[in-house]
């Protein structure tokens, strides 16, 4: 007769098999819909480009990866840095970084304001923050275009009060892309910050004031360290989609200020260089993974420090 421990182990093993069988359809869908396309892109990046915008199967080539950072001179066939690609990489990373800073600058006081409202009205404020998500990204981008174009609200207001005598050229610049991404991704910063600030024990803030700390000292030494997980989560949620933005640079940048998303689309479209587009796509994914690893490592340190 089997012992109680053996019976328990058999039941546990049967339970695990049942869970795996129940999860198998979902795992298969995830693999086919997510991992499958990534594997195709990875394979394309090591193939030779075709003559009509496809790839030559069975021909191994590293031209796609080498073309990410290097380019051949059209006259002497020597290799040099691909200045255009490096510029786009730098623009994408820098604009994403500044977008994160701007959303944090505007999002932190907004989240703090909502978290300090009476409990009965907080849901209304959070509801107002989420309203932009009801509108398509393209429509929101065109709305920002109407604000910053030469005949838009900003230039019209500045001219009417006499600050400028001619419209400022904001459209088709990096500034336009920065403003557009800040406007679109601001809710992604506000919501994680609000979730962290709402859990903040404001008795600690009162204790800081009782110990004659200034408002800046309370903010720097009490509030910010305690809501750091929300700051990191919001920064990741803003930085990652900003890095791969396509619609906003296309509409507000006018095709002159390209970012990584536009460069990838160009290679799969007019450029007819699928291996290069695939290599840039994998590079972009690697940058995203690095950002996520930094976030996970930061959260792990925070949890271990509080544990």
- The tally of domains found in the chain comes to 2
What is the pLDDT, as a whole number, of residue 1?
Answer: 47
Task: Say yes or no to pLDDT of 137 above 60.
Answer: yes
Whole-prediction pTM value? 0.82
Separation of alpha carbons 80 and 90, rounded Å: 17
- In three-state secondary structure terms, 49 is strand
| Secondary structure of residue 60 in the 3-state scheme | strand
Name the residue range of residue 179's domain: 83-306
Q: What is the pLDDT of residues 269-301, one digit of tens each?
A: 888 888 989 999 998 888 888 877 877 776 666
Strand pairing of 55-60 and 47-49? Answer: antiparallel
Average model confidence (pLDDT) across the chain: 85
Determine the average pLDDT of the residues in 31-42. 84
Q: Are residues 242 and 293 in the same domain?
A: yes
Report the candidate in 43, 51, 46 with the shortest Cα–Cα distance to residue 67: 46
Give the orientation angle of helix 83-115 with respect to helix 174-198, to 10 degrees: 40
Q: Do 146 and 52 lie in a common domain?
A: no
User: Looking at residue 172, what DSSP letter applies?
Assistant: T
State whether 97 and 222 are in the same domain. Answer: yes
Is the torsion defined by CA of 278, 282, 283, 285 positive or negative?
Answer: positive
Percent of the chain with pLDDT over 70: 95
CATH code for the domain of 208: 1.10.3720.10
CA distances in angstroms from 115 to 126, 202, 240, listed in the order given: 9, 11, 26
pLDDT single digits (tens) 144-172: 999 998 888 888 998 888 888 888 888 88
Residues 105 and 221 in one domain: yes
Which residues touch 283 (CB under 8 Å, ≥6 apart)?
Answer: 68
Same domain, 60 and 206: no
Does the structure show a pLDDT above 90 at 193?
yes
pLDDT tens readout for residues 81-125: 788 888 999 999 999 999 999 999 999 999 999 988 888 888 899
């Amino acid at each position: 007769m089997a012992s109680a421990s053996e019976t328990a182990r058999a039941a546990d093993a049967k339970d695990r098999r049942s869970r795996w069988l129940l999860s198998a359809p979902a795992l298969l869908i995830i693999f086919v819909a997510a991992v499958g396309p990534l594997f195709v892109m990875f394979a394309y990046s090591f193939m030779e480009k075709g003559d009509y915008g496809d790839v030559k199967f069975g021909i191994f080539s590293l031209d796609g990866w080498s073309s990410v950072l290097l380019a051949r001179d059209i006259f002497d066939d020597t290799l040099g840095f691909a200045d255009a690609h490096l510029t786009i990489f730098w623009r994408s990373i820098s604009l994403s970084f500044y977008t994160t800073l701007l959303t944090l600058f505007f999002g932190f006081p907004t989240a703090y304001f909502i978290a300090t409202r009476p409990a009965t009205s907080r849901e209304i404020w959070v509801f107002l923050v989420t309203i932009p998500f009801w509108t398509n990204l393209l429509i929101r981008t065109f709305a920002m275009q109407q604000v910053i174009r030469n005949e838009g609200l900003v230039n019209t207001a500045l001219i009417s009060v006499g600050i400028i005598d001619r419209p400022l050229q904001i459209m088709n610049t990096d500034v336009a892309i920065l403003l557009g991404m800040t406007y679109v991704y601001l809710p992604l910063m506000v919501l994680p910050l609000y979730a962290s600030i709402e859990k903040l024990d404001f008795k600690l803030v009162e204790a800081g004031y009782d110990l004659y700390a200034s408002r800046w000292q309370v903010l720097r030494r009490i509030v910010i360290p305690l809501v750091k997980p929300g700051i990191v989560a919001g920064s990741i949620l803003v930085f990652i989609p900003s890095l791969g933005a396509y619609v906003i640079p296309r509409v507000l940048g006018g095709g002159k200020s390209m970012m990584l998303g536009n460069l990838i689309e160009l290679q799969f479209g007019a450029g007819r260089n699928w291996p290069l587009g695939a290599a840039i796509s994998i590079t972009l994914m690697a940058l995203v993974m690095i950002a996520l690893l930094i976030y996970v490592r930061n959260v792990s340190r925070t949890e271990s420090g509080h544990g």
